Amino acid sequence: MTNRLDPKVDFVFKRIFGVEENKDVLLDFLNVTLRESEPSPITDIQILNPYIDKNALHDKQSILDLHARTADGKQVNIEIQLFNRYDIEKRTLYYWSKMYSSQLEEGQKYKDLKKTITINILNFNFIANDRYYNLFHLREHHSGLRLTDDIEIHFMELPKLQSQRASLSDKLVKWLLFLKGVDKQELWEVIAMNEPTLQKAMDTLDFLSQNEEARRLYEMRQKALHDEASMIDGAREEGKREKEIEVAKNLLEMGMDVAKIVKATGLPESEVKKLKEQLH
Residues 106-146: tens digit of each pLDDT: 788 999 999 999 999 999 999 999 999 999 999 999 999 99
The residue among 254 and 176 whose pLDDT is bigger is 176
> Where does the pLDDT of residue 277 fall: very low under 50, low under 70, confident under 90, or very high at 90 and above?
confident
Share of the chain above pLDDT 70, in %: 88
pLDDT at 1 over 60: no
Judged by average pLDDT, the poorest of 24-38, 99-113, 173-187, 191-205 is 173-187
Is the separation of the CB atoms in 122 and 157 below 8 Å? yes
pLDDT at 105 over 50: yes
3-class DSSP assignment, residue 165: helix
| Average pLDDT of the chain to the nearest whole number | 85
Other CB atoms within 10 A of residue 182 CB: 17
Where are the chain's structural domains?
Answer: 10-210, 231-279
Which residues fall within 8 angstroms of residue 244, CB to CB, at 6 or more apart?
Answer: 265, 266, 267
pLDDT of residue 233: 63
pLDDT of residue 166: 47
Q: Which fold has domain 231-279?
A: Arc Repressor Mutant, subunit A (1.10.10)
Could you tell me which residues are beta bridge partners of residue 148? 138
70-92 pLDDT per residue, tens = 999 999 999 999 888 778 999 99
% helix / strand / coil in the chain, to the nearest 5? 50, 15, 35
What is the per-residue burial (b if ≥16 Cβ within 10 Å, else e) of 163-172? eeeeeeeebb
